[in-house]
Amino acid sequence: MDRHILSVFVRNQYGVLARISSMFRRRGFNIDTLTVGATEDPDYSRMTVTFEGDDAVKNQIIRQLGKMPDVVSISELHRGDSVSRELVLIKVRNDKDTRQDIMSVIDIFRAKVVDYGTEAMTIEITGESSKIDAFVDLVKEFGIIEICRTGIVALERGSGSIRNKQ
């Protein structure tokens, strides 16, 4: 089963997030991540949805989204011709025995410490999901207190815009 990323350009209307997530739920489509945010135009928002499934599932999702009045356009983002990022905050235990090891992992992954205390530190890391997963795996042994992931945001490479697609 392949991982798919869809970028969905929607009218910034009352209930639009509920409407779209409700469609996913009732039709039994499993979402891995869903992010929503403002765009360059306040009348519209952009959603980035990631999910696993075969082509039949992907096509159904695109078609079901396509018939929703709030959806303006949909763009499928492929790995090769798009950039995707996720931002994560991870709070890990901080004690003097492991501090050096944690710092070297942070260094290797180009993450940064955004909050530091004698018992815990919060690390910010941005990157593709595979990098984040690897980082999370590595810091697990130091003791993760809590974690917050934004879900994936992605854009097509080049000069095109989702607004020009129908």
Instruction: Give dist(CA 6, CA 15) in Å, integer.
Output: 20
Q: Is residue 14 near another protein by the rule CB under 8 A? A: yes
Number of other CB atoms surrounding residue 59 within 10 Å: 11
Only one of the segments 12-20, 97-105, 112-120, 126-134 lies at the binding site for another protein (rule: CB under 8 A); that segment is 12-20
Phi, psi of 29 (to 5 degrees): -90, 130
Contact present, 156 and 82 (Cβ < 8 Å): yes
Region binding another protein by CB under 8 A among candidate stretches 22-30, 114-122, 124-132, 149-157? 22-30
Find the shortest distance in angstroms from Cβ 17 to another protein: 11
* DSSP 8-state symbol, 13: -
For residue 49, give both structure tokens.
């949805």
What is the DSSP pairing of strand 82-93 with strand 44-53? unpaired
CA–chain centroid gap for 142, Å, is: 25
Residues 69-88 contacting another protein, CB under 8 A: 69-70
The distance of closest approach from Cβ of residue 76 to another protein in the complex, given in angstroms and rounded to an integer, is: 15
Site for another protein contains 54 (CB under 8 A) = no
Q: Which one of residues 12, 33, 35, 64 is an interface residue with another protein (CB under 8 A)?
A: 64
The residue from 31, 36, 68, 113 that contacts another protein (CB under 8 A) is 68
Give the footprint of another protein on this chain (CB under 8 A).
14-15, 18-19, 22-23, 26, 56, 59-60, 63-64, 66-70
